[in-house]
Amino acid sequence: MKHFTSISDINDLDGLVEKALAFKKDAFQPTIASGKKVGLIFLNPSLRTRLSSQIAAQNLGAEAIVLDIGKDGWALEFEDGAVMNGNKAEHIREAAGVMGRYFDVLGIRTFPELKDKDTDYEELLLNAFLNHAGIPVVSLESATRHPLQSLADLMTMKEHWSETRKPKVVLTWAPHVKALPQAVANSFTEWMIAAEMDLTITNPAGYDLAPEFRKDVHVNHNQMEALADADFVYVKNWSSYEQYGQVLSQDDTWTFGNGHLSVTNKAKVMHCLPVRRGLVIKDEVLDGPNAIHLDQSENRVYSAQAVLSELLK
């Protein structure tokens, strides 16, 4: 594995999940990356990704250095050929090039602007780091994907599933007051397809994910029908892809509660966090026995450890 930015960077998906599960049993292995340095660059806020990546690096014996580049670094220019006579002090070519000299692996978090579909889906910022850092790059969530989250999600599902049949997995949209990226939903879909899960997506009309992510996954605009007999339900808001970045619905009948759970096969309920209680998922579910969102968050450490150990070896 040269980089970790999407499912297509992975040669052996099962092997990577097994590796993460093994790290959960025996996390502290400081000889694996002793003396190595991991740069974690954030253009956007984070709780889980930031802390879990730091802990993962430390468990492997590496030093993790975090830079909130939007706050603490120079304002960055990403456009090639720009005459930098505005307020951008440093070009990404130099910034990424310098960080490539300091670190052994570079993690980068960027969010989409949700204004122009093509700009966001081109992954300009992530690609700039890939092109100019000269070292392995890990996506800590990009404009269109969140692969570290998806690895932790798949790992968590393996922990909670012991039957021989494939589980029925439903990704359901839920309301939100803000326009959120499609990254987690895109990535989860991509990973469920790669893991050959029986996936259904349910969302209101106007919220279908990009065709290149949903591929031929069954999309049902009737939430209760889609949820019937589900074994896992992943609840997540995303803004519209079709009417790009827009909030088209705040229909609270989509807020996931016990009524929704009752039509499933006692489904385990997942969310990547942060979650807005009462809006996305009701307290009765988050505080109930079916919720596994804290397991997902815990597993962010071991999934990051599996990825970093691959890139640092």
Least distance from ligand CP to the Cβ atom of residue 102, Å: 23
141 forms part of the interface with ligand CP (CB under 6 A): yes
299 forms part of the interface with ligand CP (CB under 6 A): no
Backbone torsion region of residue 196, taken as left when φ is above 0, otherwise alpha when ψ lies between -120 and 50, otherwise beta: left
Least distance from ligand CP to the Cβ atom of residue 160, Å: 18
Joined tokens for residue 16: 């990577």
| CB nearer to ligand CP: pick between 49 and 255 | 49
Least distance from ligand CP to the Cβ atom of residue 282, Å: 20
137-to-220, 240, 257, 309 alpha-carbon distances in Å: 36, 28, 38, 13
- Contact segment (CB under 6 A) with ligand CP among 31-39, 238-246, 269-277, 305-313 equals 269-277
Q: Give the DSSP letter string of 218-274.
A: EEES-HHHHHTT-SEEEEE----TTTTT------GGGSB-HHHHTTSSS-EEE--S-
| CB nearer to ligand CP: pick between 92 and 272 | 272
- Interface residue with ligand CP, options 272, 306, 308, 311 (CB under 6 A): 272
| CB nearer to ligand CP: pick between 46 and 127 | 46
Instruction: Give, as ranges, the residues between 34 and 73 that touch ligand CP (CB under 6 A).
Output: 46-49
- Rounded Cα distance between 159 and 38, Å, is 28
Least distance from ligand CP to the Cβ atom of residue 303, Å: 11
Least distance from ligand CP to the Cβ atom of residue 263, Å: 27
Sheet of strand 232-236: strand arrangement: 218-220, 198-202, 168-173, 232-236, 268-270
Tell me if 56 sits within 8 A of 302, measured CB to CB: yes
| CB nearer to ligand CP: pick between 16 and 275 | 275
> Reduced to 3 states, what is the DSSP secondary structure of residue 37?
strand
Which residues are at the interface with ligand CP (CB under 6 A)? 46-49, 141, 149, 272-274
